Structure 1
């Protein structure tokens, strides 16, 4: 006897995390797990310590170039990191009430065009 299961909400693949994950948090965990100092990693990557620290502490976005530097230094694939950054950026934008109000106004204007 087969019963069909119906879901009212989004599937697990469509769920949006409550708080977006910045790629810096993943990278920070990785370098801590490996026992690599931020100073040494910054030097090896050829970037300033403060820039690296700001990425790892989610105060600066990961750029394509820094993602490629992390890939070279740690062997971590750059593309998933950039997807994570894009998702973080989109979720952050959607949580910005001023921006969402502006977006709503633009949609109302566009609807009458």
Structure 2
């Protein structure tokens, strides 16, 4: 599952039914951490280590729009796995996602 931040600053969910990988992908090589954080506002926050912490309810809402039958149940399984791996913030329930930047991105 890929949360894509487009060059236009829009967010879309790609590979919604692939629960084996979870990441945020930045498409714009000119994007900064600030612009990505702004695009993800309401869906995720970006921390100082460069990870995105994705709000579970917002992810489920996004997934319901594009995911196939059984998406919610599969998402529950993915989140349970993430929790066992220590990738869920116990206080907020947010799920940690790696941010994949284009090779030439600024990240400042």
TM-score (norm 1): 0.32
Q: Which has the higher contact order (CA 8 A, sep 6+)?
A: 2
TM-score (norm 2): 0.33
Structure that is richer in helix per residue: 1
Q: Radius of gyration: which is bigger?
A: 1
Structure that is richer in strand per residue: 2
